[in-house]
Amino acid sequence: MEYLPVCLKLTDAPVLLVGGGVIATRKARLLLRAGASLTVVAPDITQELESLLDQNGGTWHETEYRESHLNGKQLVVAATPEKRVNERVYLHACAQAIQVNVVDAPQLCTFIFPSIVDRDPLVVAITSSGRSPVLARILRRNIEALLPAAYGELARFAGRFRENVKAKLPADSARRLFWEKMLEGTVAEQVFAGRLQDAETQLLDHLEGVERCSGEVYLVGAGPGDPDLLTFKAARLLQCADVVLYDRLVSQEVVDMARRDAERIYVGKRRADHSVAQQDINQLLVDLAMEGKRVVRLKGGDPFIFGRGGEEIELLARQGIPFQVVPGVTAANGAACYAGIPLTHRDYAQSVRFVAGYLKGDKVEHDWASLQSDSETLVFYMGLMGLRVICEQLQAHGRAADTPVALIEQGTRMTQRVLTGTLESIVGIVERERPAAPTLIIVGPVVKLHATLSWFGQTAGSER
């Protein structure tokens, strides 16, 4: 190990920065964020660096570097384009036993800057010991995706109770196990959700040995299929869930992102074939939470857009069971983007409307007269079985027979297929190509852009 990772407390510490260019400005941001009392020595500095010094009470000496600038400094950073100047800063600093960093010159450093993931007061540092800064930045980016911004709030929350827990649990092992349970369980999720009072109550109850039902339900939008479209929060909750309930619109790749030992329960429904009745799903969520389990209910697309999400959490609300709703990329947005069909466009459509392809009782009943604007894109969910009625009614109420139509089958998945035609021809195309659910229907002039903007999957069976 070439460098020992340490954390320096720089609050009000006198620090010298030699240089005023773009690289020096980046270092100044970090030093000022850490609370340093910063002095900059350079003939010229960037406008951003000048603003940073003004905002944070720093000092700029508009001159060339001299050894006397090191007097009284605890730390120095050299970031000039002049190799000889940087070497002089290093030699002078070493002679005065001042810690020094020369940017991009590891051999002239007594300390180095790591790549930082900042979730203040939680900070993660990654370094390649100066060998490959780009690799360190790549690792930082990957870790950024794993650490929600709310982890800083969780660290502050835990800090408030550190002494209480230490007094109650003097043994190191017991204290460690307690904190692991608190910081990986529902207490942490309450903090992430901004429910600090509930989190405090749960933590203090656990500390006193009071066992309460601490289950919670997370209604999570799984997106249209591509697992890369899952939100950071959705991925995190999948990793902490005890039970995952999922339906047929959730791709297997998304289900596989759940914790390996989590119980998986299929509650899929398809037309006229419900694996589990809706009221039973609602009750199952309640029962599992009452057992103290963390339950993720995965919904295809977004849970509040034709996902019956509202129905599923109504019972939870009545029973007083805590829950969270995590939005997802809805099928309309995801499938349209992957098909190269903008839902709005200045030249074609100034609004978009999401419409249920069929309602209760499998009927296709709408105010068809309100769906006639050529400047509005229509997106029908679950409309494959009612496609003929949709096309007939739109034409009967005023939409032109040559209005472009697209069907997107398995949108965003590797099996995605796009069929295009018109209100007059699309039914025949579907009878020939036989697409299967899930299939999304888009009606409007924006469909014309598919031929030019399509970038993913395949187009088949379209009019030529």
pLDDT at 415 over 50: yes
Distance from C-alpha of 308 to C-alpha of 302, rounded to nearest angstrom: 10
Highest mean pLDDT among 177-186, 272-281, 415-424: 415-424
pLDDT at 195 over 80: yes
Between 136 and 406, the more confident residue is 406
Please, which pLDDT band fits residue 462 given cuts at 50, 70 and 90? low
The rounded percent of the chain whose pLDDT value lies above 90 is: 68
Average pLDDT score over residue span 24-28: 96
User: What local confidence, expressed as pLDDT, does residue 150 receive?
Assistant: 86
User: For residues 216 and 322, is the Cβ–Cβ distance under 8 A?
Assistant: yes
Beta bridge partners of 273: 270
Give the tens place of pLDDT for each residue, 200-244: 998 998 898 865 556 889 999 999 999 999 998 899 899 888 999
Name the active-site residue from 27, 73, 247, 293.
Answer: 247
Per-residue exposure over 36-65, b if at least 16 CB sit within 10 Å of its own CB, e if not: bbbbbbbeebbeebbebbeebebebeeeeb
Does residue 269 carry a catalytic annotation? yes
Give the tens place of pLDDT for each residue, 150-162: 889 999 999 999 9
User: What local confidence, expressed as pLDDT, does residue 365 receive?
Assistant: 81
User: What local confidence, expressed as pLDDT, does residue 311 receive?
Assistant: 87
Average pLDDT score over residue span 27-54: 96
User: What local confidence, expressed as pLDDT, does residue 359 receive?
Assistant: 58
Name the active-site residue from 168, 181, 233, 269.
Answer: 269
pLDDT at 416 over 50: yes
Average pLDDT score over residue span 139-156: 87
Task: Tell me the binding residues for S-adenosyl-L-methionine.
Answer: 224, 300-302, 305, 330-331, 382, 411
User: What local confidence, expressed as pLDDT, does residue 274 receive?
Assistant: 53
Give the tens place of pLDDT for each residue, 370-388: 999 999 999 999 999 999 9
Task: Tell me the binding residues.
Answer: 22-23, 43-44, 224, 300-302, 305, 330-331, 382, 411
Does residue 247 carry a catalytic annotation? yes
The rounded percent of the chain whose pLDDT value lies above 70 is: 95
User: What local confidence, expressed as pLDDT, does residue 361 receive?
Assistant: 58
Give the tens place of pLDDT for each residue, 81-140: 999 999 999 999 999 999 999 999 989 999 999 888 988 889 999 988 888 888 988 998
Give the tens place of pLDDT for each residue, 332-371: 999 999 999 999 999 999 999 999 987 555 677 889 999 9
pLDDT at 458 over 90: no
pLDDT at 434 over 80: yes
- Please name which of 232, 211, 209 lies closest in space to residue 221, comparing C-alpha atoms: 232
Distance from C-alpha of 297 to C-alpha of 281, rounded to nearest angstrom: 10
pLDDT at 62 over 60: yes
Q: Which long-range contacts (CB under 8 A, 24 or more apart) does 119-124 make?
A: 119/147, 119/149, 119/151, 119/152, 119/155, 120/152, 121/152, 121/155, 121/156, 121/159, 122/147, 122/151, 122/152, 122/154, 122/155, 123/7
Q: With a threshold of 0.95, does the pTM exceed it?
A: no
pLDDT at 464 over 80: no
Mean pLDDT of the chain: 91
